[in-house]
């Protein structure tokens, strides 16, 4: 006779809160005649919040990868850089395995993928020689998760994202005795939104002052990026990127095709002048004025006047990517408009998928899974969310997220702060002319505005995919760090 089992009541059972987990491994990287000896810690750190009734309450488990160079330099002199990507919903893998870390994904010289299987190679342009590195995956990205009992969507907004990442940075700095170190942030895309919010939050909430911020493909004021009825701002700010794209694909007239810089100069002048004024007039444009605008807009975009007329002088990124080479059934990329692809429906009005994203997804996913488990010894069986497709992200402060005020306040709180901004000419996600507009409207006093440095690359959103741009970044980022700590 079998023993009768009493059913267990699990209704009130609280799932266990994850604990901190870390694995440290030792590595070396040969750079010419030098060899860098370094340790890597891959792990999770549980963030806790003070609860009036329950004391410390766990909120989230944050995954990170930290690189520490073995050096005789004291901690007070050794910089540390905290890195993250964007999305929102992106893990930190792109900057980690494409630009900053000691290993990078092998691509061809223009940033196109090689045939699978993919591989990692030593990164001779790593920032590790000049700064220790900490790569952070925000909640719901990578291996980072809200703890049981906490709703993930509570972190999916501008304010809580800044708070959780900022609290992680502060806790990491405290546990690893890095308060006396020069401290930097580097973010890409929405990561620049996060970095700007963090600059104020870290300094005001935790008294953690930064030496510098590096912004890769900046997105600071979303009014410059969002195509909405009644918002004409993105159209003139995107025009120079359309011109660069048409130039790259040989779709401009002979008088513009000779020089990219000359074509961009003319496009910028038209965008900030007659085009902006024409859009402001709306239906008050005369027939002659409209005809003149259509002719010049066609000349600078490579699109027909008839198409531009049908779209009322306003073409979105998705429409442009589809239309420029439609006659060949070829689409151009949004993240990097040098890259091209094909789609099943050539008659669609907008691209369905971005060929420049498809080009990087496989190489970065496959190599990271092997690297984190094989080289770094960190075993986790849940999916590593390279890009988490978050159902909802709460944009605060009105219709458009805008962190220019946060960045301005960070400068005013800490006048020693410096900022470096990298821009890609072929980036349609965060166009360089939009960034220039935003920077010019920060409202910084003149002495502080001189502490912001702009740099330009003949590549896309992730300009480091291209070898020439990676080489340039490999010189400019270390120079920026040295400048910040020797001023």
Q: Quick one: pLDDT band at residue 2, thresholds 50, 70, 90?
A: very low
Cα separation, 2 vs 162, whole angstroms? 57
Domains and CATH numbers, the chain: 21-223+361-486 (3.40.50.1820), 229-353 (no CATH)
pLDDT at 267 over 90: yes
Q: Quick one: pLDDT band at residue 15, thresholds 50, 70, 90?
A: low
Q: Quick one: pLDDT band at residue 250, thresholds 50, 70, 90?
A: very high
Q: How many CB atoms lie within 10 A of CB 86?
A: 26
For residue 21, give every residue at least 6 positions away whose Cβ sits within 8 Å of its Cβ, in sequence order, or none: 43, 44
Please give the pLDDT value at position 340. 96
Q: Express as a percent the part of the chain with pLDDT over 90.
A: 86
Q: Quick one: pLDDT band at residue 162, thresholds 50, 70, 90?
A: very high
pLDDT at 89 over 70: yes
Please give the pLDDT value at position 52. 56
pLDDT tens digits, 276-326: 999 999 999 999 999 999 999 999 999 999 999 999 999 999 999 999 999
Record the tokens describing residue 453, joined without a space.
């440095």
In terms of pLDDT, which residue wins out, 115 or 2?
115
pLDDT at 486 over 70: yes
Cα separation, 465 vs 336, whole angstroms? 10
Helix 190-205 vs helix 158-175: crossing angle, to nearest 10: 60
448 vs 95, 210, 402, 437, CA distance in Å? 28, 15, 20, 17
For 421, phi and psi rounded to 5 degrees?
Answer: -125, 125
Q: Quick one: pLDDT band at residue 6, thresholds 50, 70, 90?
A: very low
Work out the average pLDDT over 112-117. Answer: 92
pLDDT tens digits, 216-249: 999 999 999 999 989 999 999 999 999 999 999 9
Work out the average pLDDT over 389-394. Answer: 81
Work out the average pLDDT over 336-364. Answer: 92
Taking a C-beta distance cutoff of 8 angstroms, is the pair 300, 244 a contact?
no
Mean pLDDT, the chain, as a whole number? 93
Please give the pLDDT value at position 399. 74
Q: Express as a percent the part of the chain with pLDDT over 70.
A: 94
Q: Is 55 left (phi over 0), alpha (psi -120 to 50) or beta?
A: left
Please give the pLDDT value at position 371. 97
pLDDT at 1 over 50: no
Q: Quick one: pLDDT band at residue 437, thresholds 50, 70, 90?
A: very high
Work out the average pLDDT over 267-271. Answer: 98
Q: Are strands 34-51 and 21-31 parallel, antiparallel or unpaired?
A: antiparallel
Residue 410: half-sphere exposure toward Cβ, Cα within 13 Å: 29
Total H helices, total E strands in the chain: 15, 14
E strand or H helix at 235:
helix 234-248
The single-letter DSSP state of residue 29 is E
> Tokens 């002719």 correspond to what residue?
295
Work out the average pLDDT over 39-59. Answer: 83
How many Å from the N-terminal Cα to the C-terminal Cα in the chain?
A: 83
């Amino acid at each position: 006779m079998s023993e009768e089992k009493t059913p267990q009541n699990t209704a009130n059972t609280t799932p266990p809160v994850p604990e901190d987990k870390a694995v440290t491994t030792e590595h070396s990287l040969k750079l010419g005649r030098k060899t860098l000896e370094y340790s890597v810690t891959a792990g999770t750190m549980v963030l806790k919040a003070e609860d009036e009734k329950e004391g410390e309450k766990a909120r989230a488990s944050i995954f990170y990868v930290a690189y520490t160079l073995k050096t005789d330099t004291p901690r007070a002199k050794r910089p540390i850089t905290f890195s993250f990507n964007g999305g929102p919903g992106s893990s930190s893998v792109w900057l980690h395995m494409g630009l900053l870390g000691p290993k990078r994904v092998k691509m061809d010289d223009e940033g196109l993928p090689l045939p699978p299987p993919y591989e990692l190679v030593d990164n001779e342009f790593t920032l590790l020689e000049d700064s220790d590195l900490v790569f952070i995956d925000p909640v719901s990205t990578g291996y980072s998760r809200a703890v049981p009992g906490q709703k993930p969507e509570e972190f999916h907004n501008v304010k809580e994202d800044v708070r959780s990442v900022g609290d992680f940075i502060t806790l990491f700095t405290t546990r690893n005795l890095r308060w006396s170190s020069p401290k930097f942030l580097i973010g890409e895309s929405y990561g620049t939104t996060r970095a700007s919010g963090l600059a104020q939050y870290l300094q005001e909430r935790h008294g953690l002052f930064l030496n510098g911020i590096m912004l890769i493909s900046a997105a600071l004021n979303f009014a410059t990026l969002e195509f909405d009825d009644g918002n004409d701002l993105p159209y003139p700010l995107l025009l120079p990127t359309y011109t660069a794209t048409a130039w790259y694909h040989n779709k401009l007239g002979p008088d513009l095709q000779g020089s990219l810089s000359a074509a961009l100069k003319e496009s910028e002048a038209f965008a900030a002048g007659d085009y902006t004024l024409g859009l402001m007039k709306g239906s008050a444009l005369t027939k002659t004025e409209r005809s003149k605008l259509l002719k010049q807009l066609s000349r600078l975009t490579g699109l027909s006047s008839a198409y531009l007329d049908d779209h009322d002088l306003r073409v979105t990124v998705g429409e442009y990517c589809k239309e420029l080479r439609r006659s060949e059934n070829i689409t151009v990329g949004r993240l990097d408009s040098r890259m091209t692809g094909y789609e099943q429906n050539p008659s669609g009005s907008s691209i369905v998928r971005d060929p420049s994203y498809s080009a990087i997804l496989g190489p970065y996913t496959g190599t990271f899974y092997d690297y984190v488990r094989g080289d770094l010894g960190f075993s986790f069986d849940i999916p590593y969310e390279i890009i988490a497709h978050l159902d909802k992200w709460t944009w605060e402060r009105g219709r458009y997220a805008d962190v220019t005020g946060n960045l301005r306040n960070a400068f005013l709180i800490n006048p020693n702060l410096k900022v470096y901004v990298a821009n890609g000419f072929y980036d349609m996600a965060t166009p360089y002319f939009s960034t220039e507009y935003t920077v010019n409207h920060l409202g910084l006093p003149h002495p502080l505005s001189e502490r912001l440095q702009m740099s330009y690359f003949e590549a896309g959103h992730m300009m480091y995919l291209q070898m020439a741009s990676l080489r340039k970044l490999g010189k400019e980022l270390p120079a920026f760090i040295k400048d910040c700590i020797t001023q």
